[in-house]
Structure 1
Amino acid sequence: MALPFLPYIVVGVVHLAAVLAGADAVVALTKPLLMPALLLALLLAVPARRGETVVLAALGILFGWLGDLALMNAGAGFVIGLGFFLLGHVAYIVLFVRRMRLRRPRWWSAGYVLWFAGLLTVLAPHAGGLLIPLALYGAALAVLGITGSGCSPWIAGGAALFVVSDSLLGLHRFLPGFALPQADFAIMLTYIAAQGLICWGVVRRVRAAAAVPSLA
């Protein structure tokens, strides 16, 4: 089951190494390959019979890919990328609620509400005309974390890392004086891990449901 994820891991490692080395050409080459490699892993790792679960997971990955491409362009690319990632989060939220045997969110997921309030408070004075889009995006991200917490540890961990990655991105872009060493590396590391863990959790769920038809 893990073998289909090997290309994603390899591309991810090369991309992260290129970020650390400042090899911009390699970064630009590998970033657009990340989500296609993960989508390939999803399609190869699940049984031949695919349904809503795989479609929703594939949409989350596809919108992530479009967001990645948009963020590679300056100017309006950030806002467009934000929109694509928002759609990806919505796809994952629907997936978690409808198909991942969602349990009651864990008690600690209340921390996402506090995180959202705190981050918005910090970024609001610097967001300008992007305040409302950022608030909507942050709210969706908090819901992603909350709903993910009620799923498997793999998905809960992936959703949490998504919150970390996007928080770092927001702070890096909007907060004056924010100086995290190797911020780009930290953002991409948590993002790659987040997408990978969510996909891995989905694959495990689909294969378990296929082995026990009553769980489908």
Structure 2
Amino acid sequence: MNRSSAAPRGAVGPSAVLAGTYAAIGVVHLVVQLTGPGWLSRPTQVLLMPLLAGWLWCAAPERTRLVRLVVAALALSWLGDTLPAAFTGDAAFLAMVGGFLLAQVTYIVAFWPYRHASLLRTPAVTGYVVAFGVLFGLCAPGAGGMLVPVAIYGLCLTAMAVLATGVGTLAGLGGAVFFVSDGLIALGAFADWYDPPAPGFWVMLTYLAGQALLAVGAVRAGGVTATTGATAPRSTAPE
């Protein structure tokens, strides 16, 4: 269904402006992670998820259940990006985990209708389970009192990544990259031996790429059936 607000042929529509702004601010943020100045890190980060959510809302041919829930998940991810600034120490970390836990649960609800087309009931799901087990095993010795919250979040993150594969190739890749991003955060927080160069750069690169792939996957999933993953008329897509 074409919306009446679509831009005329040859004009630059709002989705293109939002996509370009997301990319530009994302590049600035990544450069800041590498070279500074540090004071630019948070102002640029807090702009990114609203821009991506706005792009998804404008770019989607139809504002389906999937699109609406992914927009909500991006909004909750924004809370995970911004809430830690109001706290210090473990409270800041828990605020971040809390925001992103809500986002992961929302992603799971969004992707659940597509579970039959996902890797959930295939041998390939073993790879996700093993990845979670290895990551949890590496982080558990240093997690202390946050072991249970970390385990719950990790299970939800893994479920999201698996279910995203049912939405399409891009969404599945986005879920996997998002898993990597949060895995790097967990290693940085709980594994004393983990000390890579420019850790913030790698976390944010995978985070921004993962979220963008999930959003693009949601746009492209309008004609995919929940049962088989095959192309179908939009009226048969999950709502």
Aligned residues: 213
Q: Any idea what SS the aligned residue of 2:222 has?
A: helix
Deviation of 1:107 (Å): 3.5
- Using the alignment, how far apart are the partners of 2:182 and 2:40 within structure 1? 23
Report the equivalent of 1:35.
Answer: 49
Structure 1 residues 121-140: aligned runs within 5 Å: 121-140=137-156
- Using the alignment, how far apart are the partners of 1:190 and 1:127 within structure 2? 23
Deviation of 1:71 (Å): 3.4
Amino acid at match of 1:212: P
Give structure 2 stretches of 5+ with no counterpart. Answer: 1-12, 226-231
CA contact (8 A) 1:116 1:139 kept: yes
Q: Scaled by the length of structure 2, what TM-score is found?
A: 0.82
- Deviation by residue 1:60-109 (Cα, 9 ceiling, x = unmatched): 101100000123453212101101101111111111122x4750415333
RMSD over aligned Cα, in angstroms? 2.1
Percent identity, aligned pairs only, is 37
Amino acid at match of 1:79: L
Q: Please identify the structure whose Cα radius of gyration is greater.
A: 2
Deviation of 1:201 (Å): 0.6
- Using the alignment, how far apart are the partners of 1:102 and 1:189 within structure 2? 30
- Using the alignment, how far apart are the partners of 2:178 and 2:147 within structure 1? 20
Report the equivalent of 1:215.
Answer: 236
CA contact (8 A) 1:104 1:150 kept: yes
CA contact (8 A) 1:102 1:151 kept: no
Q: Name which of 86, 97, 101 aligns with 1:82.
A: 97
Distance 1:79-1:197 versus aligned 2 partners, 3 A rule: same
- Using the alignment, how far apart are the partners of 1:102 and 1:45 within structure 2? 26
- Using the alignment, how far apart are the partners of 1:88 and 1:156 within structure 2? 16
CA contact (8 A) 2:118 2:162 kept: no
Deviation of 1:165 (Å): 0.3
Point out the structure with the larger helix share.
1
Report the equivalent of 1:10.
Answer: 24
Distance 1:54-1:104 versus aligned 2 partners, 3 A rule: closer
Structure 1 residues 1-216: aligned runs within 5 Å: 3=16, 4-47=18-61, 49-72=62-85, 73-75=87-89, 76-98=91-113, 100=114, 102-105=116-119, 107-206=123-222, 212-216=233-237
- Using the alignment, how far apart are the partners of 1:140 and 1:20 within structure 2? 30
Deviation of 1:46 (Å): 1.6
Give structure 1 stretches of 5+ with no counterpart. Answer: none
Q: Any idea what SS the aligned residue of 1:141 has?
A: helix
- Using the alignment, how far apart are the partners of 1:104 and 1:120 within structure 2? 23
CA contact (8 A) 1:171 1:178 kept: yes
Q: Any idea what SS the aligned residue of 1:78 has?
A: helix
Distance 1:213-1:144 versus aligned 2 partners, 3 A rule: closer
- Deviation by residue 1:8-48 (Cα, 9 ceiling, x = unmatched): 1111111101111121121121010010110110111023x
Q: Scaled by the length of structure 1, what TM-score is found?
A: 0.91
